[in-house]
Structure 1
Amino acid sequence: MQVNSRLAKAVRFALVGGAATAALSSPVVLAADAESADKVERIQVTGSRIKRTDMETATPVTVLSADDMAKQGFTNIQDALQSLTSTTGAMTTQSVHGFTPAASSISLRNAGANRTLTLIDGKRLNQYPKPAGGTDNFVDTANLPMEAVARIEVLQSGGSAIYGADAIGGVINIILKKDFDGAALKYRHGDTTNGGGMNDRIAFSIGSSSDKGNVSTFIEYTNNEVLRATDRENFGLDTDKVPHSEFSQYSSYGARIAGASKGASGARALTAEECTAGGFFWDAARSICGYDRSKQRDLEPESYRFISTTNFNYELADDITFLGRLDFAQAKSTTNIEPMAINDYDIKVAGNDVTVSGAGGLSKTFNDKSTALGGDFANATDGDYYYVRRLHEFGNRTGETNTRNYFFTAGLEGTIADEYNWDASVNYGRTNVDVYRGGYATIAGMFDYITAGDNGNSLLENMSSADVEEASYTPFEQAQSTQKNIQANITGLAFELPAGDAMFAFGAEYTEQDYQTDSDSESKKGNILTTGGSSGKGKRDFWATYAELSMPVLDQLTIDVALRYDEYSDVGGNLSPQLTVEYRPLDELLVRGSISSVFRAPDMHRVYGDPTQGFTQVIDFKQCAAMGGTPGEANSNPTINEVCNELHIDITTGANKDLEAETGYTANIGAVWGGDSLNASVDLWEWKLDDMVSDISASKAAREYDLYEDMITRDADGTITHVNSVAQNLAYQQVRGLDVTAGYGWDLDAIGEFKLNFNGTYILMSEGQLDPTAEIDDDIYNGGLPQYRANLVLGYFLEDFEATLGAYHTARMHGTAYKSFAEGGEGEESDYEVASLTKWNLTAGYNFTDNIKVSTGLINMFDAGPNFDPTNTSWPHYPRSVYNARGQEWFIEGEVKF
């Protein structure tokens, strides 16, 4: 089909120049013929406030239509966003051990989820009140509606001059359907071929239109079955030891006594028979009483989600329309992980005395070591000891997260003198999160059990159900965040130039944000074994005003300038300018470039949050070397093995009220070609931020101990017991990359129509500096970042039949601890790398009538992945921000329209 209008060609440029998948859609004509080309309706494109006739702008925009997402078999918006080649990492519900196992987010351009702005119809969304990792605020993409979406526009460049803070890695703008008429019912059932992870989604859409307006409601319900570690052979079925990772080991936290001081020996050790009789696992390779966690771990949690979205618009007068939206979402997620593993109680043997000590000054001394604590230390030499114990009697540690999300917007829009478009709106969002956990005990409760009576109790013996109940504790957390916003905008003709009309946009907005998160009192004090609490409360408000001017200085050359000023109540003001250039030497060719100042106010939890107590597992590189061990390698000495593989420590992350805003720039230069059959684009981009807010992870501090020794607390023998990390403005982060897209279509008449599209992103550089005196970190070398991703999608259309074959490739990359292993170990570089992976998806659909359609698909056809990280000693030994363990999946979907 020949597309004649200027706008239609511009839209085609946009879909190909920015999108990997839009070429699958059938051609769309947005204006009937060339005669109406100069009268087409102006539209607003993500990345600009100006309504214009050309959809393609100087900043690259990826467009994913609802049709594109359905054709590629994506279950939800998170899946679609993760497929983008510009996505360098994602937080998903796989993070069952984390602070936010019920939420999802993505990171564009390696900027982080908290530096990726998410909008619906150009309006900011409320932030999730529980910060990722206990530190970073983000927008939860799991609660965004799938069925109500018309398309997703992803600005792959910074947008602070247009949208304000957070728009550094990019902007995700979800455009909803506005004029749905009728009713539709859709049901989808999917399952994995290896078992576990079954999912169902039912969606109902209803809308009604009149000559004055439209009201549409979209309701969907999804249910996801748990995916357990035992559902996947790669995780051993009946073993905690992942066979594909040489660093995978059974947990040494079964039941044993370790000597905390040199020369301490003679404490009781369980035999293999006693170990297995107690419900533990005898690790013959290391001759210790360990534990097999596999049957008690989830790879993905059980969850359900209900989402409702209602859009309305009504024409009050010829030039004024009242419009708005009401959203409600409710979700529940249930996680399961293995029982608590503790080493929290110190035992000191001195002569005939045995003294038990715990956190908070707890202490009790027994005067006969032959009977104290079940006689475990009857033959022990003087020294310091501690129990290493998996408290399996308490059952799994469970977490139930309940989320409720509300959003309301109402406003007016209209035109003045047919030349100016204006809009104004009030917006309100709120998110509530309640978390209830089980399988925990208080430090004092377990201390009371160990020291009960005249002689106390041995932790090498199982606890009774009555004792478990006495020591048990149920932690909980409640969090809430709200956002109130007022905004207004006007756009239209500024003045006339010989080459065309200069267009402008001007607007202002005011926003109030607040959040509070509060744990139970014992968790906040750090009095619960193996878990901590996160609390904080804060409020900020900010106002902004902006202006944008687009000037066609020549027939082929357009220059766009924008300026925005934001004033925050807690971090002050910031001015963000932007300059973009569009040059069209040919009708089919667009050469574009942009440079923009960007900034970001620090996360509210990093400013107002209370210290967050937590627990983690690290390798103590310094102590491991001092004891003659090798990081990641098994050792017959239990203490050395623990220090070199599975040292459980306390961590604290803290806020900093003196944090400053991050500031920097983004830039891109590229070209777009849009022909009748061949479409292609190439863009070179870069972003840099100074004074980035972050903290040093416990694993990094333990690995690079020379730099971060001041954060580390060690015991008398030099072993790490605690890492304290406080948010701070560090030095800088800079990322540079290249985007390439190409699309080609074949119309073979009676045989059908083929559309092939390629999209790729190559990271040329990603580096940063934690402080001005530190060594510059190369993220690609250090590990955990795929250097390139590429998608190849083939669509076939024949009358009422359509099929799509997609290949999604992730490059080989260095393992997450590559630097430490490659520089301190032996072997080839490839021994510390994560292999590349290509997933193939095949979907097909058939329209039986105009109102009935059936689709089916096979996702991950060849059951690829996850690819294991040979440097990751922590379960599940693969990068969960890049891969998942679902394996091959199938689905069938039916839709009926009324």
Structure 2
Amino acid sequence: MISSNSRALRRCQLTTAILSTLLISGMAFAQDNTSNSGAQQGQEENKDESGNLDRIVVTGSRIKRSEVEGPSPVTVISTEQLQREGFVTVADTLRTITQNAGSSQNELNSAGGFTPNGSPINLRGLGEGRTLLLINGRRAADYPFPYNGQSNFQNFGNIPTAAVERIEILSGGASAIYGSDAVAGVVNVVLKKNYEGDIFTLRAGTSTTGGGDYTDLQWVGGKTGDNWSLTYALEYFYDEPVYAYQRDFMDSRDDNPLPPAVVGNQPASGLLILRSGVPVGSQNRITPPAGTCDRFGGEYVDWTYRAVYPATHPLAGQSYVTGSTCGYFKDVGYQTINNGNKDLSGYLYGNWQFDNGMELWSSLMAYHSKSELSGGLEFFGGPHTDGVGTRTAAFFATNPTINGNVTVQRIFTPQEVGGVEATNQKFTEKSWDFAIGLRGNFGEKFDWDLTLGRAEYSASRTRPRLDGSEVTNFFLGPNLGTAAAPRYLINLDRWYRPITPEEYRAMSSILKYEADSYVTQGNFVVSGDLFELPAGPLGIAGVIEYTKQGYELKSPAGILPTNRTVYNLTGTNGGGDRDRYAIGAEVSIPIFSMLKANLAGRFDKYNDITNVDDAKTWAAGLEFRPIESLLLRANYSTSFKAPDMHYVYNEGSGGFSTALDTFRCLSTGGTPGTASCAGATYSYSMFATSKGEPTLEEETGKSLTYGLVWDITDNLSVQADYYVVKLEGAVANLSSTFILDAEAGCRTGLTRTRQPYPFAAGSAFCQEVISRVTREPAAGEPTDRVTGIRSGPVNQSQRRVDGIDASIRYRMDTDRFGDFAFSLEWSHVLGYELQTFATDPIDRNWRDDPGNFDFRSRMRGSVGWQKGDWAANVFMTRYGSLPNWQETARVAPYFLWNANVSKKITDKASVSFFVNNIFNNFHPDDSGFNTYPFFWRGYSPIGRTVSAQFSYKFN
């Protein structure tokens, strides 16, 4: 498989062009000569005077060993590799690793969400929060704001690049070593120590498409003595926000590549008063006074809207005019697609060697960030009518010129709120991680290590938002009817004129969220050789751990589900803690000279309000070396994840979403997904609430990997591993769609396809699911209207994913042309099975399901060159194909290319030039992607960036 993909790359014209450019002009950064040695695996190669390799700790085991490869595959990215591939931050690098196949929220699509400033990863597509982040082998504090308002995760964006020595990625379950959360894998960020000298680095760049200026300033240094060392790092990073209006392919609703049939692309209604109950074929939009749209500074356009006669009408398929009003094409462009940041971070590490062989060490990492981003413009879509802040879509307008039922929409322009920047949300984040330890040895065979640590992460968020009562009163005045039948006199003078920024501020407020998390931990590790066996020493390691984790989330009172005074926005509060005690052991058994077995077991005891009292995990691995250069390996492990604390301690959250009223559709003889259930009568905005569930059980996993590592020659090595991960009991919130489908099935006895529903109406399942839907009578509608959905987290059934990871590395040293280094890494998902609930059939083809937007394959590779004072590198990352948005085919794979060139200008100074995304690619073409931003969120809209770097060594 490796050779096949290599041939495909050689045939690619882009590859040929870039390699030619590389050889001719010497573009890119220096290739580190250690990338294919033991240091390639990210380990410290401490050698004694005889040149023998000292024993080291490899991620995935606490037993020190002389071999850098073990029974489980570990991918390592050094800080030199991070830089030569063109990246500035740890998070940017991790987004390109081939195991990161799952889709996550990012700065493109989460600006209006709960965690728009966090940077999660999603290994194997098993979900955020199922990859454990370690800092120097210690658990990092959770990001304070829960992912999507639901679950905890760890942020990979607050780690200072200047302090990083290497990043180690272990894919697969590792709970037998590290405990909870290590289900999909472990990312261990190893920070610098024992550094000698000082180096200053300044890098600055920008996007060639517009916006995105950035600066990265680093100072890394250290001093060493006979029995001490001190390492320090300081970094300042700045980048400006990028808005969608700075990209011409996503700055307007008219960029939709698949306009609606017959009527074409039409703008959103900026100023809309729409009559309800008007017969099909007649005009229902109330036309504003002449010249109204021109009063809004060129933001609105005069637009005559059209609709299409439904299939049941004699004129089916033909269009008709629904009226004229002010349309808004540009409103989507006022959201950020890249956050603006001002980050200051630092790191300090020191150690002291005592005469008796003991070592005292301590480290401190700190981070302070100010960020800003925008989720776009606010809108007014109907009155805020009752005590818990429900937005009513339809009401009776008593104006003499209207005198009827209407729905309304008014999208505020940037000028009305005080400029685009006035829509920005602002984040302030602070985190620190302190650890102190003492290590030594006893009995000449055993090492011991005592570590104590504390990490804290605090974050605050502010955002402007309309007050429901104030904005309703400003445009509509008091309710002249009742909560069930609201009546308002629309203030047409205010409706049809721009408001002033002062008026906007008078009917809005700045909301402030605060969140904190922490982790306190201590562990004692003993490792060494117990005794000699005929084939070698029996290695053992034992660990005792204590960890206390906690968090607290405080959202503004006005957005809580029980007190929704803020317009069209909800949130959540929560807080709690968890104690964990653990004991674990490992043993490495040399069975004979070529075969070694590795066993590990761990017991975790929990103290919180859940029923997860304890967890037992184990792992077993084999290493077979028939010849010195070839390793055949296999590893099987069990893993678990305790329920995320916010799934347990959530005090209540909520959110609006548009969903299909499945019961209404089925009970009126329709079929979901067809024209019989189309339109606002069947799909409308609903409010769903969720609350923490202490009865949740732990998720459990099983992982299997086997493969080989072969150093074919001193300069050529290959690696290939098969993996399979199975996860059971995954926790997730019930979706509104699932609840509404189940409610309809229990009440009508039919599925969405009008087949018999598997649960009886009186069953416990049906009683529970029906109780989760609240309905109230709605005049003129076919059934009671859904007014509330009670969601919540549940343990689901199972997921299973399997695939292949492979890599090849080659070095070629020449006297005349310089030294070359080649690497290629590839991950491919062979199968993905999904079963949401035990009552559901297993979807054994989820990998190829047209609704699955996880990448089936990922690839990354580089070509490096160095000669004298010049160095160069070209980096490539390939995203595999995805379903098209219409779910009828697949879009093409997607390539990004980075290149850079470096020149050492003196013994102490060097300069580098970087071009990331050389060909200014944004996303593969999908002519059917008719939902904003008109391409999948897994692709970046930033485009090409260029930068220059200057480095100076002081000694």
| TM-score category of the 2 structures, normalised to the smaller one | 0.7 to 0.9
Q: 1:850 to 1:23 in 2, by over 3 A?
A: closer
Q: 1:296 to 1:360 in 2, by over 3 A?
A: closer
Distance 2:85 2:621 in 1: 33
C-alpha deviations, 1:679-728, integer Å up to 9, x for none? 11111101111111012445777899867985666774367665542111
Give 1:235 shift: 1.3
C-alpha deviations, 1:594-631, integer Å up to 9, x for none? 11010000110010012212334567799899899997
SS in 2 for 1:83: coil
Residues 253-272 of structure 1 aligned to structure 2 (within 5 Å)? 253-258=269-274, 269-271=286-288
Residues 21-36 of structure 1 aligned to structure 2 (within 5 Å)? 25=35, 36=50
Give 1:260 shift: 5.4
Contact kept, 8 Å, 2:829 with 2:847, in 1: the verdict is no
Q: Give the match for residue 106 of structure 2.
A: 92
Query: RMSD over aligned Cα, in angstroms?
Result: 3.4
Candidates 623, 626, 631, aligned match of 1:582: 623
Q: Does 1:731 align with 2:797?
A: yes
Candidates 184, 189, 197, aligned match of 1:174: 189
Answer with 857-866 or 21-30: which moved more.
21-30
Q: 1:204 to 1:529 in 2, by over 3 A?
A: same
Q: Does 1:385 align with 2:411?
A: no
Distance 2:614 2:907 in 1: 55
Give 1:776 shift: 3.0
Amino acid at match of 1:661: E
Q: Does 1:538 align with 2:576?
A: yes
Q: 1:297 to 1:32 in 2, by over 3 A?
A: closer
Contact kept, 8 Å, 1:632 with 1:644, in 2: the verdict is no
Q: Does 1:846 align with 2:903?
A: yes
Contact kept, 8 Å, 1:24 with 1:756, in 2: the verdict is no
Contact kept, 8 Å, 1:430 with 1:483, in 2: the verdict is yes
Contact kept, 8 Å, 1:632 with 1:873, in 2: the verdict is no
Task: Report % sequence identity.
Answer: 26
Residues 125-204 of structure 1 aligned to structure 2 (within 5 Å)? 125-204=140-219
Q: Give the match for residue 873 of structure 2.
A: 804
Q: 1:612 to 1:362 in 2, by over 3 A?
A: closer
Q: Does 1:495 align with 2:509?
A: no
Amino acid at match of 1:471: M
Candidates 582, 595, 613, aligned match of 2:654: 613
Contact kept, 8 Å, 1:305 with 1:330, in 2: the verdict is yes
Length, aligned pairs only:
839
Distance 1:32 1:199 in 2: 37
Amino acid at match of 2:943: G
Distance 1:750 1:632 in 2: 69
Contact kept, 8 Å, 2:465 with 2:511, in 1: the verdict is no
Residues 26-105 of structure 1 aligned to structure 2 (within 5 Å)? 36=50, 40-88=53-101, 89-94=103-108, 95-105=110-120
C-alpha deviations, 1:110-148, integer Å up to 9, x for none? 122200001111011000110110012111111101011
Give 1:206 shift: 2.6
Q: Give the match for residue 318 of structure 1.
A: 356
Q: Give the match for residue 331 of structure 1.
A: 369
Q: Give the match for residue 567 of structure 2.
A: 529
Residues 860-871 of structure 1 aligned to structure 2 (within 5 Å)? 860-867=917-924
C-alpha deviations, 1:625-674, integer Å up to 9, x for none? 989999799x9xxx9676899x6553433321111100121111111111
Distance 2:775 2:363 in 1: 55
Amino acid at match of 1:886: I
Distance 1:653 1:868 in 2: 38
Q: 1:581 to 1:618 in 2, by over 3 A?
A: same
Q: Give the match for residue 698 of structure 2.
A: 661
Q: Give the match for residue 10 of structure 1.
A: none
Amino acid at match of 1:377: I
Contact kept, 8 Å, 2:466 with 2:509, in 1: the verdict is yes
Q: Give the match for residue 763 of structure 2.
A: none
Answer with 861-870 or 566-575: which moved more.
861-870
Q: Give the match for residue 836 of structure 1.
A: 893
Candidates 564, 568, 589, aligned match of 1:551: 589
Distance 2:821 2:216 in 1: 29
Candidates 710, 715, 731, aligned match of 1:673: 710
SS in 1 for 2:559: helix
Q: Does 1:857 align with 2:891?
A: no
Distance 1:461 1:630 in 2: 38
Distance 1:800 1:362 in 2: 66
Q: 1:871 to 1:561 in 2, by over 3 A?
A: farther
Q: Does 1:893 align with 2:908?
A: no
C-alpha deviations, 1:829-872, integer Å up to 9, x for none? 22xx4432111111121222342121111111111122366676
Give 1:362 shift: 10
Answer with 397-406 or 551-560: which moved more.
397-406
Q: Does 1:754 align with 2:820?
A: yes
Give 1:745 shift: 1.9
C-alpha deviations, 1:150-207, integer Å up to 9, x for none? 1111111211000001111111011111011222111001111111111111111232
Distance 2:206 2:172 in 1: 36
Candidates 470, 487, 491, aligned match of 1:457: 491
Distance 1:40 1:529 in 2: 65
Q: Give the match for residue 596 of structure 1.
A: 637
Q: 1:481 to 1:809 in 2, by over 3 A?
A: same
C-alpha deviations, 1:292-342, integer Å up to 9, x for none? 313422111222111111111111333111111111111111112332234
SS in 1 for 2:429: strand
Contact kept, 8 Å, 1:864 with 1:887, in 2: the verdict is yes
Amino acid at match of 2:638: S
Contact kept, 8 Å, 1:565 with 1:574, in 2: the verdict is yes
Residues 695-710 of structure 1 aligned to structure 2 (within 5 Å)? 695-698=733-736
Contact kept, 8 Å, 2:200 with 2:951, in 1: the verdict is yes
C-alpha deviations, 1:442-472, integer Å up to 9, x for none? 3465247522499552474347446544422
Q: Does 1:291 align with 2:328?
A: yes
Give 1:577 shift: 0.8
Contact kept, 8 Å, 2:274 with 2:285, in 1: the verdict is no
Contact kept, 8 Å, 2:336 with 2:376, in 1: the verdict is no
SS in 2 for 1:423: strand
Amino acid at match of 1:25: S
Contact kept, 8 Å, 1:344 with 1:358, in 2: the verdict is no
Distance 2:373 2:525 in 1: 44
Q: 1:568 to 1:31 in 2, by over 3 A?
A: closer
Give 1:795 shift: 1.2
Amino acid at match of 2:913: T
Candidates 388, 399, 424, aligned match of 2:425: 399
Distance 2:210 2:432 in 1: 35
Q: Does 1:408 align with 2:425?
A: no
Contact kept, 8 Å, 2:383 with 2:391, in 1: the verdict is no
Contact kept, 8 Å, 1:45 with 1:55, in 2: the verdict is yes
Q: 1:342 to 1:501 in 2, by over 3 A?
A: same
Q: Give the match for residue 758 of structure 2.
A: none
C-alpha deviations, 1:719-746, integer Å up to 9, x for none? 7665542111111111111111112222
Distance 1:86 1:632 in 2: 38
Candidates 940, 946, 950, aligned match of 1:884: 940
Candidates 339, 342, 347, aligned match of 1:309: 347
Q: Give the match for residue 504 of structure 1.
A: 540
SS in 2 for 1:478: strand
Distance 1:617 1:224 in 2: 35
Give 1:214 shift: 1.1
C-alpha deviations, 1:1-59, integer Å up to 9, x for none? xxxxxxxxxxxxxxxxxxxx98883757887999946x532100000011111110010
Q: 1:63 to 1:467 in 2, by over 3 A?
A: closer
SS in 2 for 1:45: coil
Give 1:420 shift: 1.2
